[in-house]
Structure 1
Amino acid sequence: MTTKVDLKDQHSEREMDNDLLADALVRLSTIAKHLNISSHTLQALSQPLCTLTSYISIRKDNGESAYFKAYRCRYNSLLGPTKGGIRFHPSVDQSEVEALALWMTLKCAAVNVPFGGAKGGISVNAKSLSALELERLSRSYVRAMADFIGPQTDIPAPDMYTNERVMGWMMDEYETIKRVKAPDVITGKPLVFGGSVGRTGATGTGAFLCIEALAKKRNWQKHKQTVAVQGFGNGGAQCALLLQKAGYKVVAVSDSKGAIYSPEGLDILSILYEKQKSRQLKAVYCENSVCELVSHKVLTNEELLALDVDILIPAAVAGVITEANAGLVKAGTIVEIANGPVSAAADSILHEKGVFVIPDILANAGGVIVSYFEWCQNRQGELWSEEQVTTKLSDYIHKAFEQGWQRHVSTNIDMRDAIYAQALERLTLAIEAHGTHDYFNAN
């Protein structure tokens, strides 16, 4: 008889209040208990494989030296080389990086991508750096991590406040250190360096495909479905744009400074244009280069989360829906583009309210799926067309959604539990293939 593992017991309530990894492990343990997942799988996921931390320095434009804490976690490599983004943000710490790497492990397994999970980051306010300082920081990070990453070991990608240019700098620095050409060491690169078409908008596109799949199941009239998007970065903006084009009514969007709301609906393309031009979020309608301010209400991000809409899309940071505010959520459907936007404690409240949640490990998996495509193209020396990438992405998302949906319907469990189940089952198969206690004891 194998010993049961309760990941919740390993962390005190005090730790879970401010420890993202502890919260992620509590959710994992709770779901695994409901699904009767093997204790061997929980043990394998209870701790990261390895985490490298480093203080890195750069010379600032004024001649001063600046120091930053940097991290890279390879959480689990059962299914393949580890994969995960690099974020530049003041909130980055070891717990966050390890939690994100755990979710990436589950995400890759859920959508059947042959990668393990990883994540990296630097605790920095990227907005405070000049372009040259940002390049120095990016290259310094790779110098610290060069022996920890690699095309067949751990493949980074862009994340919060990093982009394809940053990935290009990082790839160039890795190649300089290793004295090789290695486009497959980094994904999310510029096209000219071996990047893939469709990678930049893949996260938002994947979430949109999930919503479209749900719309077919629910027979929605799209023009009657109202949407609020909390977070107007790459993923949230792309998803909002696709939703509006498909006929949904996007009534609210927000960035780090606040939200705008119009019950008649917003023109997302015009808002994107104005934000790029003025760095401000405004409800505008643009005809060519002329923009006109339209009637809208200014809200806080907290008020946006409580709007009476059909679909709520948290697309900013982790932990925005908690035990304290979950009861205020009025949306019938939540689509998690951000990683971990709903805390473990909030899950039960949303369940009692009948809120349907498409979990982050499916909803935001478009990015890692197309990163896998990019890695494959680099390894094969090929360049796929946009049509190939789009078709393959749709196939992966719809297959994973359909498997989760059928389990959700047949067993009457939450969609989050259903998607976690298919991820944990694939990881369990990998563990059992190596042999478990039962195998070696001839059971």
Structure 2
Amino acid sequence: MRSSYEHLQSMMKDVLDQLGYPDEVYQLMKEPTRIMRIRFPVRMDDDSVKIFTGYRAQHHDVFGVTQGNVHFRPNITEEEIAALAILRSVKSSNLQIPLGGSSGGIVCDLRELSFRESERLCRGYIRSIHHIIGPNIDIPSSDAAVDPQMMAWMMDEYSRLHTGMNPNFIAGKPFVLGGINNKQTAVEQGVYHTIHALIDEYNLPLKETKVMIHGTGNIGSYLARMLNDSGVKVVGISDPQNAVYHPDGLNIPEILKQKDHFGIVTRFIDESISIDEFMEKESDLLILTTKQEQVNVNIAKKLNTSIIVETVNNTLDQEAINHLHSRGIEMVPEVLATNGGIVYAYLEWLEYKQGKKFTDKEIEEYFKDIIHLAIKEAKYTSLKKNINMYLASYMIGMKNQAEAIRYRGWL
């Protein structure tokens, strides 16, 4: 079975071939131009010293500056960091944001670290990579699991190492240090605006649009609540064990009240159904938010929806994509649906560059406009080339980068 990295590279190769670019463009873009592997010591609270491994990957600097998250996970690998850097480039290009993709991470389990150990870890990471990041080089930003305090430590450490340079280019900071409000739910907001953009583009009546949400994690629960509040009819929601569905809509506030620490919402609902039954129910939009499952062609054959929104990369396998396209079911990939964090990081960087502070209203308008424009462009490309939106999104993301490389005269 191919890894996610190999799947991504295969997709890139197919897309660039279809766009007519020579093989050397793929050879340049298939891997990051720079991957730095670091090992650095951290003094623990018991006075012992532990050595941590970290990474920073930069896909390319064809746009001049790269930007990407910092991830703290015990299972992070160099290959995953490389794939995330490439995906960041594709996502930014889909949003028409002129930044290359980067990514970084530390192999660790934050749950095992104290507050002060976490601080020393963040500072040690910046000391190890400070010479390859900067406002005109590479902009670290926060992952969903990285809080503003951690980004503030990184910002402060950078300022100690570069005393004559403003460290505010680092994104994901606390609001009082130049951050942006509500950054912690940026990914969820991005999916929310994506869904509303799809409703607008396909002329669906808001209050009659039937949405099913597969998963009750952070994204699934947020979308259920926000879509319900905006007037969309949430007709189904699943948890790790079962699901609940009603064609006339669900009482979402009441259902979410029952959610336990394991994400279970159906434990006390008598009319709950199995996940298999749930996937066969009728809807206008099906939002996939679970990380454990992959939709294969057998599951795809049972789906009874018009639009599928993928919020976890590689949830739909290639056979499923081909089958769904043959049935006329539209698919919005993760590279198009989960870009809220990129928008927020970009706006925070713009604040730094322009020396001004956006109002909450301005941020909301920018956010909505960028997401809606990306959906509109993907739909236009899919219709023009008679392809699904899944492929169209990668075409836009790859073409913008390839054209920048061509104009630069690199190849």
The answer to whether the 8 Å contact 2:144/2:184 transfers is no
Q: Aligned in 2, Cα 1:80/1:203: closer, same or farther, shift over 3 Å?
A: farther
Q: TM-score, normalised by structure 2?
A: 0.86
- Deviation of residue 274 (structure 1)? 7.7
Return closer, same or farther for 1:40/1:64 CA change in 2, 3 Å cut-off: same
Compare 219-228 and 192-201 and name the one that shifted more: 219-228
Change over 3 Å in CA distance of 1:163–1:250 after alignment to 2: farther
Paired residue for 1:283?
265
Q: Which runs of 5+ in 2 are unaligned?
A: none
Please state if 1:373 is matched with 2:312. Answer: no
Tell whether 2:69 aligns with 1:96. Answer: no
Residue 148 in 1 paired to residue 168 in 2? no
SS of aligned partner of 2:217:
coil
1:407 and 2:391 correspond: no
Q: CA deviation at 1:353?
A: 5.0
Structure 1 CA distance for aligned equivalents of residues 46 and 280 of structure 2? 46
CA distance in 1, matches of 2:184, 2:388: 30
CA distance in 2, matches of 1:282, 1:319: 17
Describe how 1:288-437 pairs up with structure 2 within 5 A.
Answer: 295=269, 306=279, 308=281, 310=283, 311-315=285-289, 317=291, 320-321=294-295, 331-344=305-318, 346-435=320-409
Q: Does the 8 Å CA contact 2:55/2:105 hold for their aligned counterparts?
A: yes
Q: Structure 1 residues 89 and 318 mapped into 2: Cα distance closer, same or farther (>3 Å)?
A: farther
The 2-side partners of 1:169 and 1:253 are apart by 38
Q: Distance in 1 between matches of 2:167 and 2:318?
A: 38
Q: Aligned letter for 1:424?
A: M
Kindly, what percent of the aligned residue pairs are identical? 25
Query: Shift of residue 378 of structure 1?
Result: 1.3
Shift of 1:303: 6.0
Matched, 1:241 2:225: yes
**Which residue in 1 is equivalent to 2:28?**
44
- Cα distance in structure 1, aligned partners of 2:251 and 2:124: 41
Please say if residues 158 and 167 of structure 2, whose CA atoms lie closer than 8 Å, have aligned partners that are also in contact: no
Q: Does 1:216 align with 2:161?
A: no
2:107 to 123, 126, 140: 123
Distance in 2, Cα, partners of 1:356 & 1:61:
53
CA drift at 1:178: 2.0
Structure 2: distance between partners of 1:434 and 1:197: 37
Report if aligned partners of 1:84, 1:119 keep a CA contact under 8 Å in 2.
yes
After superposition, the C-alpha distances for 1:311-339 in whole angstroms (9 at most, x for unaligned) are: 33334559844578655655543222234
- CA gap of 1:27–1:268, structure 2 versus 1, over 3 A, is farther
SS of match in other structure, 2:56: strand
Distance in 1 of aligned mates of 2:80 and 2:304 = 28
Q: 1:78-117 alignment to 2 at 5 Å?
A: 78-117=62-101
Structure 1: runs of 5+ lacking an equivalent: 1-16, 285-292, 438-443
Matched positions, count? 405
Q: Is the CA contact 2:69–2:143 (under 8 Å) kept in the aligned structure 1?
A: yes
CA distance in 2, matches of 1:349, 1:429: 31
Distance of aligned partners of 1:259 and 1:21 in 2 relative to their CA distance in 1, 3 Å threshold: same
Amino acid at match of 2:181: V
Summarize the alignment of residues 6-21 of structure 1 with structure 2, pairs less than 5 Å apart: 17=1, 19-21=3-5
Give the Cα–Cα distance (whole angstroms) in 2 for the partners of residues 366 and 388 of structure 1. Answer: 15
Tell me by how many angstroms 1:53 deviates: 1.0
CA distance in structure 1 between the aligned counterparts of 2:405 and 2:312, rounded to whole angstroms: 29
d(CA) in 2 for partners of 1:27 and 1:124? Answer: 30
Could you tell me whether the CA contact under 8 Å between 1:57 and 1:68 is conserved in 2?
yes
Report the Cα offset of residue 269 of structure 1: 9.1
Query: What is the one-letter code of the residue matched to 2:243?
Result: Y
Q: Among 31, 36, 41, which residue is 2:15 paired with?
A: 31
The secondary structure found in structure 2 opposite 1:421 is helix
Contact 2:211/2:287 (8 A) holds in 1: no
Q: CA RMSD in A?
A: 3.1
Contact 2:41 2:51 in 1 (8 A): yes
Q: CA deviation at 1:405?
A: 0.9
1:166 is matched by which residue type in structure 2?
Answer: M
Aligned partner of 1:66 among 30, 45, 50: 50
Report SS of the residue matched to 1:161. coil
Distance in 1, Cα, partners of 2:277 & 2:125:
36
1:185 aligns with 2:159: no
Amino acid at match of 1:348: N
2:138 aligned partner, one-letter code: D
**Do residues 166 (structure 1) and 166 (structure 2) align?**
no
Q: CA deviation at 1:129?
A: 2.8
User: What secondary structure sits across from 1:243 in the alignment?
Assistant: helix
Deviation at 1:190, TM superposition (A): 0.9
Q: Write the letter of the residue equivalent to 1:391.
A: E
* Structure 2 CA distance for partners of 1:41 and 1:146, relative to 1, 3 Å: same
Cα gap change, 1:95/1:298 in structure 2, threshold over 3 Å: closer, same or farther? farther
Among candidates 44, 61, 74, match of residue 77 of structure 1: 61
Q: What is the match of residue 8 of structure 1?
A: none
The residue that corresponds to 2:252 in the other structure is 267
CA gap 1:319/1:380 in 2 versus in 1, 3 angstroms:
farther
> How far apart are the structure 1 equivalents of 2:217 and 2:277?
13
**Does structure 1 conserve the Cα–Cα contact (< 8 Å) formed by 2:236 and 2:278?**
no
* Compared CA separation, residues 236 and 166, structure 1 to 2 (3 A): farther
One-letter amino acid of the structure 2 residue matched with residue 105 of structure 1: S
CA distance in 2, matches of 1:194, 1:323: 47
Cα gap change, 1:304/1:374 in structure 2, threshold over 3 Å: closer, same or farther?
farther
